[in-house]
Structure 1
Amino acid sequence: MNLFSDIRALVVGCLDALVAEGTLPAGLDHANVTVEPPRDPAHGDMATNAAMVLAKPAGLKPRDIADALAARLLADDRIAVADVAGPGFLNMRLADTVWHGLVTTVLGTPDYGRSTMGGGERINVEFVSANPTGPMHVAHARHAAVGDALAAVLDFAGYDVTREYYINDGGGQVDVLARSVYLRYLEAFGREVEFADGTYPGEYLKDVGEAVKAAHGDAFVDRPEEVWLQTIRDFATEKMLEQIKADLAAVGVVMDVYFSEKSLYGTGRIEAAIEGLREKGLIYKGVLEPPKGKLPEDWEPREQTLFKSTEHGDDVDRPIMKSDGAWTYFAPDIAYHHDKLERGFTQLIDVLGADHGGYVKRMKAAVSAMSGGRVPLDVKLIQLVKLYRNGQPFKMSKRAGTFVTLADAVEMVGADVLRFHMLTRKNDAPLDFDFDKVTEQSKDNPVFYVQYAHARVQSVLRKAEEMGLATDAGALARQDLSAMTHEAELSLARKIAEWPRLIEIAARLHEPHRVAFYLYELASELHALWNRGNEETALRFLQEGDSAATQAKIALPKAAAIVISQGLGILGVIPVDEMR
């Protein structure tokens, strides 16, 4: 049940009736007619822009259309008030029975809010994709939280979602990893070693070095690099990937696909993707214009193999092959996305770090070119996470090995706190993460505030059960809710009604943070009703000495708890039944 969709259907039906009677001309497009919560709740429960968007094509004044529409709407039992405001905005108040029916519906619908909007369309969400050169650090938690929650929102909205991790094991950084591990391997034999600039001196590689020793003995000691590089490279990459999978599991993330960049090389897959672009006339030999501004000292015009990305929205054409015949980094990226298209995905989403900003236009151009413009690519850039503890900043350096690992963060604050807080800002906004503040028990801590709301409801239900009352959703759905008329109760019901609409908006815009924001607002409404009950006995969920009234009263918070549980599940957070 999506109450906003239901009322929009009513509005469109009334508009059709106005056309039939000759008040409105035929052929009007209703695509831009919306029904949504008004900006000011005092104006009503819902508002429609119908008169405003139809006035010009209808050749009528917006207010004239609004007046006629209001009269039609009032003939429906669900509409208690239909007020025309300003030049033609139409605000509606729904009958109390609508909100009673909503609560009953939520209690009788375990997956309330789940949508069929996606129609089973196949979407690939690639996220995290950290280089397999070390354990994941806490900033990767934001990538994981955003990507996994986005996949969950899309799934809840009816899409067929694949979670994917791209293993960057084809570049020079894995050679650096192998050389770093080799030094730790020598250390395992008691050798003194020195980490040259560019290698990874982090102590997390000591265990890998010991593992190489256990697997290969002294076979590589004092041997030239060409003897051991490939073997240690593969060994170290596998070990790092095992650690990455364990780190992701610690925050509840399970990937459907791990795709190896290395699998693209030497298999003809890069060549095939580039050849497909060549056949479309998009690959050519050319010389790029010099970069704008001051020229680098080493810049010189030289002929390269270029992708004509400007034909698909990019600012400049992009090199895919260097002058020496080697592929640029862009070429395997093209081949990787070509593979996604070959697998039949009709939408692609890449969740990447903010340092990939220059990558967006070129990759969108490549996907557009390869798919003939049929498959959209959305790149979500994740801004940095600034870490604090006791008000003092934490500094990270992956190369130095002095960073806060994701596992460290889970141990300090827990996976649920970590995931929720990583979604308290939009992905393209910087985020501050204070290890002390995120565990505070206060209204300013969103995860506590939402969990506390759920725990409060569970406490009420436990007490009701001690009174001998049935508190399961089925029993509560059969209660008479006609006494639910107070504004504080109806306000909570209105917020519950927004859940299906919120899911579809978050899925359409690819913005999972909206779920976290919504849960905080829903929790606020529930806490407000609870606090009003401290002042007004009639609003208390537990009505002393009146079992029938109590059972009816607890239906509303039970419905709110169902939605909170669903929302937390989408964020990858386990709802708690009691606070400790």
Structure 2
Amino acid sequence: MNLFTDMRDLVLETLAAMQAGGQLPAGLDMASVTVEPPRDAAHGDMATNAAMVLAKPAGLKPREIADALAARLAEDGRVESAEVAGPGFLNLRLVPAVWQRVARAALTEGTGYGRSTLGAGKRVNVEYVSANPTGPLHVGHTRGAVFGDALARLLDYVGYEVTREYYINDGGAQVDVLARSVYLRYLEAHGQAVAFADGTYPGDYLIEVGEALKVQVGDAYVGQPEEVWLEPIRDFATDKMMALIREDLAALGVEMDVFYSEKSLYGTGLIEAAIEDLRSKGLIYRGVLEPPKGKMPEDWEPREQTLFKSTEHGDDVDRPIMKSDGGWTYFAPDIAYHYDKISRGFDLLIDVFGADHGGYVKRMKAAVSALSNGRVPVDIKLCQLVKLYKNGEPFKMSKRAGTFVTLRDVVDQVGADVTRFVMLTRKNDAPLDFDFDKVLEQSKDNPVFYVQYANARVNSVLRKAAEAGIAVEDATLAQADLSGLTHEAELAVARKIAEWPRLVEIAGRSNEPHRVAFYLYDLASDLHALWNRGNDDASLRFIQEGDVATSQAKIALARAVTVVISAGLGILGVTPAEEMR
């Protein structure tokens, strides 16, 4: 049940009747007609822009259309009143029975309430985390992992076939640095004193890797030149780091469907095939780029390069794909990787990058547009920085990591559920402050606690009702007589429940899972408000002494709240709390 879709259908049917009756001309485009919650709840339950968007093409005044539309809508049994405001806005108030049916629908549909067919028949690839395999995941990766995983869950919820993918950056110079760093720990394991030069990785997490390498090869690499050990240690270290990263992701509740190696693109013809595809479209050429804007680097000099004509697909400048020594630039394997994604038949690609990849967005979109002939859209989501605080001070670095706070540091402090929810309390492209003290507070100011407390409160009601001999199974509650739920505080809860299917579709269309976290906080607020009203007004309490029927009706509304909270927390990857401790 999607009440907003139902009411939009009613508006469209009424507009069609007005066309048939000659009040509106035929052939009007109704695509822009919406029905949504009004900005000010005092104006009504729903508002439609129909008169405003149809006035000009219809050659009529908005107020004229709105008055006629209001008169017809008021005849529908679901509409209590239809009022025209201003130049032609139309506000609707619905009868209580409509909101009562929403609670019943949530109980009847259960986990299906709010699910959508938005992505039915479509395949989407969500690539996220994709950290260099040179160490444990840090707090920035944590935000990207949570966002990407929640987005994948959201898209699954609205009907897409989702592939969760991690791109292993194991083909660049950073894995050579990793190998050299592990070699130093290997020598250290053999009792040698070592010094970590600038650019190597000094974190303690490599001590175990060096010791494991000693166990595997003994002293075979001691005193040997780099050409002997670099490649095998690079592979050994990469495998160890990816095992560590998988453990970190598991601690956060993140599971990937595919781990795709960048190294697999080299020597297999995939990069060459991708570039040849672009060349066949006239998008690869030899040329000289303009000097960079602003202050010119001292070492800049004009030189002929092999370039991708990315400006033909929306980029600001054309991009080099080959170095002067004949090797590929960093961009070339990324082109090939997305070429492979397209060849796997995905209908939509989503890349979740860190904030430092902002300059990469246009060139990547241009490449995908060119490779797919504009058929496959790519949405690139940037996750901004996370600032950590504890006791009012910036949280210190991890000694184990050497230079940064790790994902494990965060999860060990507050748990996976709190970490995930807090990481989604801001839009992905907005900076986020993570205060270890505040995220564990038991107060309204802590959205994690506030939502979980609402769920726990309802579960306590269910337990007490069962102890009192009141049947509270969902099937029983769904059959309860809900006509007595008429108090404004009760209807406010039902209205918020009714927004869930609409909210999910909006979040799914915009790829914005943070909307779910915001919504859950609002829903919890309405539940807590109703609970608190019951402290002063006994008639609003969920369990009515000696009145089973009324109790079941009120409990049905509360239970509908937890149906939605459980679904929403499931999208966020958070386990609903049965009780607070």
TM-score by length of 1: 0.99
Q: Which residue of 2 aligns with 1:458?
A: 459
Mapped pair 1:539 → 2:537: no
Q: How far off is 1:109 after superposition? A: 0.3
2:103 is matched by which residue type in structure 1? V
Counterpart of 1:34, as a letter, is T
Output one character per residue of 1:299-345: Cα deviation in whole Å (capped at 9) or x when no partner. 11111000000000000000000111110000000000000000001
Q: Which residue of 2 aligns with 1:557?
A: 558
**What SS class does the counterpart of residue 329 from structure 2 fall into?**
coil
Amino acid at match of 2:192: R
The equivalent residue for 2:288 is: 287
Q: Secondary structure at the match of 2:109?
A: coil
**Residue matched to 1:187:** 188
Question: 1:389 — aligned with what?
Answer: 390
**Does the 8 Å contact 2:12/2:30 carry over to 1?**
yes
1:394 is displaced (CA, Å) by 2.2
Change in 2 beyond 3 A, CA 1:399/1:322: farther
User: Gapped runs of 5+ residues in structure 2?
Assistant: none
Alignment map for 1:2-21 (pairs within 5 Å) = 2-21=2-21
Helix, strand or coil for the counterpart of 1:482? coil
Tell me, yes or no, if the aligned pair for 1:199 and 1:399 is still in contact at 8 Å: no
Distance in structure 1 (CA, Å) of the matches to 2:230 and 2:2: 59
Q: Percent identity?
A: 75
Q: CA deviation at 1:543?
A: 0.7
The residue identity in structure 2 corresponding to 1:350 is D
CA shift, 1:137, in A, is 1.4
How far apart, in 2, do the equivalents of 1:139 and 1:49 lie?
41
TM superposition outliers: structure 1 runs of 4+ over 2 Å: 394-400
Letter in 2 for 1:518: Y
Counterpart of 1:85 in structure 2 is 85
Give the match's secondary structure for 1:125: strand
2:166 corresponds to? 165
Q: CA RMSD in A?
A: 1.0
Query: Equivalents in 2 of 1:397, 1:244: separation in Å?
Result: 16
Q: What is the match of residue 579 of structure 1?
A: 580
Quick one: which amino acid aligns to residue 452 of structure 1?
A: Y
- Give the counterpart letter for 2:411 in structure 1: V
Q: Which amino acid aligns with 2:233?
A: I
- Other-structure match for 1:50: 50
**Could you tell me which amino acid in structure 1 is paired with residue 64 of structure 2?**
D
Deviations 1:497-547 (A, max 9, x none): 000000000010111100000000000000000000111111100111222
Partner of 2:527: 526
CA contact (8 A) 1:12 1:30 kept: yes
The one-letter code matched in structure 1 to 2:325 is: D
Q: Secondary structure at the match of 2:126?
A: strand
Partner residue in 2 for 1:434: 435
Change (3 A) 1:397 1:295: farther
Whole-angstrom distance in 2 between the partners of 1:433 and 1:120: 38
- 1:201, 1:399 within 8 Å by CA — same for their partners in 2? no
Letter of the structure 1 residue corresponding to residue 253 of structure 2: G
Is the CA contact 1:251–1:410 (under 8 Å) kept in the aligned structure 2?
yes
Distance in 2, matches of 1:397 and 1:383, equals 21
Shift of 1:139: 2.2
Distance 1:42 1:534, change over 3 A: same
Give the aligned length.
580
**Equivalence for 2:107:** 107
Which residue number in structure 1 is paired with residue 73 of structure 2?
73
CA shift for structure 1 position 551: 1.2
Counterpart amino acid of residue 39 in structure 1: R
Q: Does 1:248 align with 2:259?
A: no
Q: Which residue matches 1:35?
A: 35
- Residue 269 of structure 2 is matched in structure 1 by 268
Question: Residue type matched to 1:507 in 2?
Answer: G
- The 2-side partners of 1:2 and 1:245 are apart by 39
Secondary structure in 2 matching 1:506: helix
For the residue of structure 2 that corresponds to 1:38, the secondary structure is coil
Pairwise CA distance, 1:374: 1.1
Q: Using a 3 Å threshold, how does the CA distance of structure 1 residues 293 and 404 change in structure 2: closer, same or farther? A: closer
Residues 182-210 of structure 1: per-residue CA shift (max 9 Å, x gap): 00011111110010110000000000001
Residue type at the aligned position of 1:76:
D
Equivalent pair of 1:273/1:338 in contact (CA under 8 Å):
yes
Distance 1:203 1:54 in 2: 66
User: What amino acid is aligned across from residue 180 of structure 1 in structure 2?
Assistant: S
Tell me, in whole angstroms, the C-alpha distance in 2 between the residues paired with 1:310 and 1:160.
32
Letter in 1 for 2:123: R
